[in-house]
Chains A and B, each alone.
Chain A
Amino acid sequence: MEQNKSVPTGLEPITRSLLRMVLWFKPMYQQWGVDSHQLALMLHYKLLMDQRRPTGFQQMSRNKASKPTNFGYAWLLIGLVTGVMLIFALMVGADPVTRISFFFSGLVFLLSAMLISDFTSVLIDVRDNSILLPRPVNDRTLLLAKLLHILVHISKLLLPMLIAPLIYIGSEWGWRAVFALLPVVPIAICFSILLVNSVYLLVLRVTSAEKFKNFIAWFQIIFAVAVYGAYQFLPRFTDEEEMKSFVIGNRGYAPYLPPYWFARSWDFFRGENWLSNAPWLFLSLVSCALSLFIVIRFLAPAFARKIAGLSGSSAAAGIAASHRLTARDNRPRTKFSPAIWISKWVCRNPIEQHSFLFTWRFTGRSREFKMKVYPGFGYMLVIFFMQFYRNFKQLSTDGPGFILYGSIYLSGFILISAIEQVGHSEQYKAAWIFWRAPPAKPGDILIGSTKAVLIKFSLLLALLLLMVSTWLLGPAALPNALLAIGNQWLVTLLLQRRAQQQLPASLPPISEGKGSAMLKTFFVMMLLGVFVVIHYLLYNIPWAIGLLTLLVWIAVWLLLSSIRNTPWREVDG
């Protein structure tokens, strides 16, 4: 079909070229039972929507645009910077094949991380249920459109990422090595996409739609922590000399590693050892084609059916809910809940208590909140072990010292991110309930919510660390640990107090890298850093620590009181 004249804007030149490239293989797709016309159309519009999806940098200047607006080139800068990181992978190993194997490992890892964080929403876009599924589009076309959409978008992000590594490769092994890499990179991209999607589709095949959403959330959290842990630990656990003399080809496990196949394929294209490298190129190509075939042929049919069940308003979900309702009718309505128990102890009045309970439940059930805040627990654990590992020698001679208090400060990052996120939600419009019948002052709502966050994301962890400190260092550790907790709370409350107050879950989600949010976080980190330095300088002077602890807790109390007295005009919404 010729293009409709009413389409006012087109794709960026790079996206358009990439789209053309993936559509070169139309005859192959048609053989698999895909409708190539529908495929091209869906891809065109999905990519156009991506182009209009604002990234963090652009949201700073974004007003609600009535005309189509494109948000184009921030990915270029982000990609260039990320590419520099890949150069480090190229420095590991004794021979070119080993070094390129590490490069491809890094690339596959990076791509998988990008896919998991960005493209889960593409694969399971619930809007497709009411827009695409009722149309005459077959399952294979739908799934391939999603996979190629991901492929084009990822390739676009990857192009600037390759610039720095290609320059490095060119300077090490000449222009031929650079050109040899170009045909292998698409294979690595396909491999990463199919790897992540195969896992998703396999899980989707065996689980219910609702469980799948939870699976993805936890998968993303664990993956983020694993990436961070690997980044922190691997270079420290391996011997530098050993890394420089490492030759992957000598290891028995090398043939089982796809990055090694890609490296040998690269070696083939740059004209080295053609005969011995050819089977590896063949293996790379066949594995990609085969996995694409398996995904389209065997996993696609279940895919469409399962995503139809992912909508919140699906019949199955509604019926399950009405079933649960009937089943609960006969159960006693009250059972012990720690949140209710704590709220009775710490809240002064019913409004405060209900705000406390709402925040407690929201932070435990909202998937988006968990995705943003919960990885912090994992990061903290990694940093905690890193600290002990680094300072092991010092620990065995001098005892744990300031490291334990440092851990309390570290847990402050979780608290800060929780207090920043608690005001934001995809369903922020539901916050009308707070404005519908507002109490005279919003202070009770704010204080209830703040208390819930302080207790859930700081106090419980801090108490644990307090006990560890007292156990390891004796009662003398108590004022120091209390000071660390007080400082953590003081900084968090200052962060909350210095701007407009936010009712829980009442504002749209914060975009990553948004200017004001970044500045605010930077300011808070700086402040916390200053507090840590002061504490470090004084931690062996008991009277100074005692005095500081007292002052800090008075400041915390004053800040909590001022939040309680916030007027409505200071509330953001």
Chain B
Amino acid sequence: MEPVIQLEGLCKSYGEHRVLNDINLTVYPGEVIGYIGPNGAGKSTTVKILCGLIPDFEGRVTVKGLDLRKDTLAVKKIIGYVPELAELYESLTANEFLDLIAGLYEIPADIADQRITSMLAAFDLAAVANDRIDTYSKGMRQKALLISGLLNNPDILILDEPLSGLDANSVIIVKELISRLAAEGKTIFYSSHMMDVVEKVSHRIILLNGGKLIADGSFAELQGQIGKESLETIFASLTANTGLHDAAAALAGALNQSPTNGTE
């Protein structure tokens, strides 16, 4: 099978600080990749490079055989991206906002209309489709953002904390959607700190720490290798530099300290 994403020797530095260090990764169609790591591990940087937002990286990135550096626009056309904590043009209505996004992907008007209407209805936003986004709740905004990432029917869907702010029913819809899209042969790059969700939706889990890839395999494989029960404990055993219990104790202890004698 032809790989859909290939990262070869991917490095990225900000000043003297190396954020990504020699990342090599091959992803195949239909895979759901759980992309996890502690804060500052380099997840967002990888995602932004894949979306063509950071052009000055070292190494080679190919998406469906296209060189990201040379064919940035062609790559952007086949990727759908739902960023974390993204802003929206709030004075537009959901219909207008999605029409703009559809236009930028040059989706024909009739197809765009039909997709926008169906997706808004599926997410229960049909009644407020012509209301301004600044009147939406956090969950409604997240739904609009999810639709904007799916609108171009992308081959690769990159989701950065996509469940943020969603109610329980919408979470079920999104999880089910991920499975269906994967079954259709689409690749999903799922970045999140919610370990239980990553554990359930991902076919393959990639763990990044300090800019390096430190684990790669299915949940069952990681369980076998590391001998822990949940993804949360696997994550902690591979990434925590100091004891997490010690850190919690230090936080609680800080409340009991006084400046003169150390403890009250």
Question: Which A residues lie at the B interface, using CB under 8 A?
Answer: 1-8, 37-38, 41-42, 45, 48-49, 52-53, 64-68, 126-127, 129-138, 305, 308, 313, 315-316, 318-320, 322-323
Contacts and interface: CB of A to CB of B under 8 A. Distances in A.
B116 interface: yes
A305 B56 contact: yes
Interface string B17-56: 1010000000000000000000010001100100111111
A138 B93 CA distance: 25
B108 interface: yes
Contacts of A129: 53
A52 B103 contact: no
A6 B45 contact: no
Contacts of A136: 73-74, 76-77, 104-105
Contact of B135 (A38, A45, A66, A315): A66
Contacts of A305: 55-56
A388 B109 CA distance: 67
B118 interface: no
B104 A8 contact: no
B222 interface: no
A67 to B, nearest CB: 7
Contacts of A134: 51-53, 76, 79, 81, 83
B54 to A, nearest CB: 7
A319 B15 CA distance: 10
Contacts of B107: 1
A68 B130 contact: yes
A38 B103 contact: yes
A126 B44 CA distance: 17
A315 B48 contact: yes
B132 interface: yes
B96 A316 contact: no
Interface of B: 14-15, 17, 19, 40, 44-45, 48, 51-56, 73-74, 76-77, 79, 81, 83, 85-89, 91-93, 95-96, 99-109, 112-113, 116-117, 129-132, 134-135, 148
A72 to B, nearest CB: 14
Contacts of B45: 315
Contact of B104 (A4, A64, A132, A320): A132
Given A45-B92, A132-B104, A136-B76, A4 B52 contact: no
Given A37-B103, A135-B105, A318 B40 contact: yes
A8 B87 contact: no
A131 B73 contact: no
18 contacts: A1-B106, A1-B108, A4-B103, A4-B109, A7-B99, A8-B95, A37-B103, A45-B96, A68-B130, A126-B87, A127-B88, A130-B86, A130-B87, A133-B53, A136-B73, A136-B74, A138-B73, A315-B54
Given A4-B99, A49-B91, A305-B55, A64 B106 contact: no
A4 B93 contact: no
A292 to B, nearest CB: 23
A389 B194 CA distance: 68
The 4 closest A-B pairs by CB, nearest first: A130-B86, A6-B95, A41-B103, A136-B76
Contacts of B87: 126-127, 130-131
Contacts of A323: 15, 17
A319 B14 contact: yes
Contacts of A7: 95-96, 99
Contacts of B135: 64-66
Contact of B99 (A6, A49, A135, A308): A6
Contact of A67 (B96, B100, B132): B132
B64 to A, nearest CB: 14
Given A38-B106, A316-B14, 12 more contacts: A1-B109, A4-B112, A6-B99, A6-B129, A8-B93, A65-B132, A67-B130, A126-B87, A131-B89, A134-B81, A134-B83, A308-B54
A94 B35 CA distance: 73
Contact of B109 (A2, A64, A137): A2
Contact of B100 (A42, A68, A130, A320): A42
A319 B19 contact: yes
A42 B103 CA distance: 9
A449 to B, nearest CB: 26
A131 B86 contact: yes
A559 to B, nearest CB: 36
Given A8-B130, A135-B105, A322-B40, A41 B51 contact: no
B88 A4 contact: no
A131 B116 contact: no
A414 to B, nearest CB: 34
A137 B15 CA distance: 28
Contact of A3 (B85, B109, B129, B130): B109
Contact of A49 (B14, B44, B89, B108): B89
B99 A319 contact: no
A64 B19 CA distance: 43
A509 to B, nearest CB: 15
B134 A64 contact: yes
B103 A53 contact: no
B21 to A, nearest CB: 13
Given A135-B76, A138-B73, A6 B113 contact: yes
Nearest to B158: A134
Contacts of A127: 87-89
A6 B101 CA distance: 14
A280 to B, nearest CB: 41
A401 to B, nearest CB: 54
A308 B49 CA distance: 12
